[in-house]
Structure 1
Amino acid sequence: MSSFFKNTSVYFLANILNAVIPFLLLPILTRYLSVEEYGQIAMFQLLITGLAGLVGLNTVGAAGRKFYDKNISKSELAIYNMNCLWILVFTAVAITLLTLLFSKEVALWLSIPSHWIYLAITISFSSFILQFRLSQWQIRGEAKKYGVLQVSNSLFNLCGSLIFVVVLSMGAQGRIDALFITGIITAIISFYFLVKHKLITFSFPNKKSIYEALNFGAPLVPHIFGVFLLSSADRYVINDSLGLGAAGVYLLAVQLSSALSIIFDAINKAYVPWLFESLTKDDELTKLNIVKNTYKYFVVLGVVAVFGFVLGPWVVTFVAGDNFSEAATIVGWLLLGQVFSGMYLMVTNYIFYSKETKLLSLVTIFTGALNVLLLYMLIPMFGLKGAAYSFCASMLIRFLLTWLIASKKVKMPWLLV
């Protein structure tokens, strides 16, 4: 357990630094970009989120899970990892070819320049390689290396954004260019370390390895699509119903509320390796302690949610200024939704451990579709508040349904008996 707390501290510090750097940009971007330009960036990030589940087909998780298989050699693991990268290449090429056919329609739908779509594909490709390298460090408990690369990525992003947006006055295009260049740099660094540490070895595509990786990752595509509907579709509906300016205001509130998700992610990154090892032992006393600590964690998150409603509006006004003042009215509800997401992370890990990811996809698709339905119902009634209400309700339902499935797939003493 000591290694868990040690790694949690490192992940927490790295994630805090990783979060602080973009947050330093918020007061700058909100003053150098118009509300409409901020809305364009929101739609671009919406596109990247949508591509994330398709580029590579979630095989970062497949490679991470493969590490815990028994009796697998380092060379076999390196070949398996290489086949995950082959899947990345195949999917990126396929998406690029489709984009050549439909780029104008997608650009019109998202209210962005068509050439941004190709930048988004490249950023998604680069992000996969970065996340692959980070994941391989995470499963091996090498939290410091993880943190250095993660924070470096944010620093590159910060410097690029300051140069292109502030110094060169390139507006929204400058922010996009910074993301693009940062993605290329960190992907090259990540690939270098994958090769150096012999985590990949060049080999031609292997049918068995590709099938195994896809068997883990492909069923998660609906799950990722559901996450997209849960966490990003609101920006499209807002843009469609209320305009780019409202989408920009909403994005700001989402970015501020995401501070909680960054903290939850840091805890989860350290928790998953420890949890999987503990579940492998199949010890009843250990399981009971896990459940007790999970409930204590839920109580803490409940307290955090209360403070979110009290302090959140003040933070919005302080950070963003008067142009984005409407964000103060919704940030508390978005923070509550993030709390439910933090609780969800504590129970979804059991489903990943059981490898029954198809059921997780069903839950996420259902709650994602519910979120879209609520968005179209509540936004006309409550404006931006309607989007926040929808997000919060959908996150609560996703957490409860996932908990129910997790309790069926991995037996845990949730009743404390």
Structure 2
Amino acid sequence: MKQILRKFNRLSLPAKALLALVFSQLVQKGLSIITEPIYTRLLNTSEYGTVSLFLSWHEILVIFTSLCLSKGVFNNGMMDYKNDRDVFTLSLYTLSCISTIFIGIPVILFSTFIYNFMDLSIELILYMFILLFFEQTLALWTVRQRFEYKYMAVTVLTIVLTVLAPLSGIVGVLVSENKVFARIICEKNIFIISYIGVLILIIKKAKGKINLLYWKYALKFNIPLIPHYLSLHILNHMDRIQIAFVIGKSAAGIYSIAYSGAAAIKIFWQAINASLIPWTYEKCSKKDFKKLKDLTEILILGFGLLCVFFMFLAPEVMKILAPVSYHEGIYVIPSVVAGVYFSVMYYVFANIVYYYKKPKYVMIGSCCSAVINVILNAIFIPIFGYLAAGYTTMFAYGFQAFIDYYALRKVIGKDIYDKKFLLMTSSFVVFVAILLNYIYDKTFIRLGLVGAILLYTIYYFSKNKDIFSMFFQKK
């Protein structure tokens, strides 16, 4: 253990932050793997579908209530106002509060119409707005901690919330007759406590000061991006809403558990990206695109191999996550995982575009792909059922990656990444996603291929370890 700690201490701050974030995300997902099977056995497919519907609507509404102030504009603000970060953070939180109140008033006034449209009880909708009012405290604080590589507090808080929230939710479901309401309220109340605690900390550090100039700065950057962020969330969540409307909540529940299992793989890239953003900004400031290209392409291929590895294990994943009534969702996983692979291309390209403060360019790809996704879902879900939603999502994310690549090239004026490399890696992921539908029942062939991919992954990363040293060496 001492030797491991010594090696950890020799790492650079970005590397320490990355490993800490990966660890906390793995704990988070590991406990999810334990708790989700409990929920799928305590809730029927319709109840699970209602919970999924609540979470999907929440993720769409948060775009408007938060104005996505914890996204790209906040990272830029950390650079532009590095000597006034406390006031900048509190200023952006108060702006999100005003937006939440502004949107919440019509919801209260037209509650009957909203209830019918969202297919949720008025109690759940009102509770959703309580969440929306407070949750940006933790979002802003977490982004700042990661930007400054202060990984310890974020890691500890993430693990504590990861343990307490699902335990509270399970107890609530067990003792309550209204299982849907109990799961949501009992889980989210734990988070609300943390939101209030972080809010007190933010106010104290900023000494209660708010700078209205920071509102202008944030709105100028982010308002044009609202369609972009909304489009990203439509890509992530609209399929479940459309499935619930067209087929029913039970089908939405089956699709949701399969989608959640597939999307779990994204936690690895989210952890990587949290440390990659400041590193990317540093390389862009020096115009050191060669080092940026070398490391990022290795990360892309590594993530692609991880996606393929996960696809092969879809039957085992579903057996762990849910009872037999959910298992037909196995065939959703490959296409959704391929979609997740394409979705990380957005981060690869957008990180650089945001550095140059040209956010309007990434909006084109996301808006077009969201419209395509909704239209394709409307056409194919009634014909082929919820399985079609996985493939429409994969296609839409692939289209977005294509547009975002050319948006990056327009901003920089040249190719940073190797087009052939990106095309070959993407084609391989899609090929495997389609192939696996025909060999899931051939266990020995499938597991043999898993072993081969694992060996190649180990070989590839050991061969390119020198490039990783750019990121992991101590500064």
Q: Please say whether Structure 1 and Structure 2 have the same fold, judged by a TM-score greater than 0.5.
A: yes
Matched, 1:13 2:23: yes
CA distance in structure 2 between the aligned counterparts of 1:229 and 1:48, rounded to whole angstroms: 11
Deviation at 1:205, TM superposition (A): 5.7
1:414 to 414, 417, 422: 417
Which residue of 1 is the match for residue 237 of structure 2? 232
Question: What pairs with 1:21-36 in structure 2 (closer than 5 Å)?
Answer: 21-36=31-46
Q: 2:157 aligns with which of 149, 154, 175?
A: 149
Task: Write the distance in 2 (CA, Å) between the matches of 1:218 and 1:151.
Answer: 33
Please give the per-residue CA displacement for 1:295-329, whole angstroms capped at 9, x wherever unaligned: 22232233233323321122102320111112112
The answer for the alignment partner of 1:374 in structure 2 is 376
User: What TM-score does the superposition give when structure 1 sets the normalisation length?
Assistant: 0.92
Cα contact 1:126–1:186 (8 A) shared by 2: no
The alpha-carbon deviation at position 187 of structure 1 amounts to: 0.4
Kindly provide the CA deviation profile for residues 260-302 of structure 1, in whole angstroms up to 9, marking residues without a partner as x: 111110110111111111211223xxx2122122222232233
Q: Does 1:128 align with 2:133?
A: no
Q: Secondary structure at the match of 2:66?
A: coil
Are residues 1:47 and 2:51 paired? no
Report how far residue 241 of structure 1 moved. Answer: 0.9
Question: Could you tell me how far 1:334 is from its partner in structure 2?
Answer: 1.0
Q: Are 2:346 and 1:311 equivalent residues in the alignment?
A: no
CA contact (8 A) 2:166 2:187 kept: no
Q: Residue 251 in 1 paired to residue 256 in 2?
A: yes
1:16-165 matches, within 5 Å, as 16-61=26-71, 62-69=73-80, 72=81, 74=83, 76-165=84-173
Once residues 387 and 157 of structure 1 are traced to their aligned partners in structure 2, the CA distance between those partners, rounded to angstroms, is: 30
- Deviation string, structure 1 residues 218-261 (Cα, Å, up to 9, x no partner): 22211121012211111111011110100111110111112111
Is contact 1:82-1:201 (8 Å) kept?
A: no
- On the 8 A contact 2:145/2:151 being kept in 1, the answer is yes
State percent identity of aligned pairs. Answer: 22
Of 351, 354, 379, which residue of structure 1 is paired with 2:353?
Answer: 351
More divergent stretch after superposition (40-49 vs 181-190) = 181-190
Alignment of 1:176 with 2:181, yes or no, is: no
- CA positional deviation for 1:337: 1.0
Q: Deviations over 1:65-96 (max 9, x none)?
A: 11112xx463x433332321221121111111
The one-letter amino acid paired with 1:291 is K
Q: RMSD between aligned alpha carbons?
A: 1.9
Change (3 A) 1:73 1:47: closer
Give the Cα–Cα distance (whole angstroms) in 1 for the partners of residues 385 and 278 of structure 2.
42
Q: Deviations over 1:388-416 (max 9, x none)?
A: 00111111111121121112213553349
The count of residues paired between Structure 1 and Structure 2 equals 407
Question: When the two structures are superposed, what TM-score results if normalisation uses the length of structure 2?
Answer: 0.81
User: Structure 1: which 5+ runs fail to align?
Assistant: none
Cα pair 2:273 2:347 within 8 Å, conserved = yes
Contact map agreement 2:353 2:359 (CA 8 A) in 1: yes
User: 1:192-211, aligned counterparts within 5 Å?
Assistant: 192-196=200-204, 198=205, 200-203=206-209, 206=212, 208-211=213-216
CA contact (8 A) 1:119 1:180 kept: no
Q: 8 Å contact 2:88–2:211 — kept in the other structure? A: no
Deviation per residue, 1:45-72 (Å, 9 max, x gap): 1111111111121222333311112xx4
Check the 8 A contact 2:269/2:303 in 1, yes or no: no
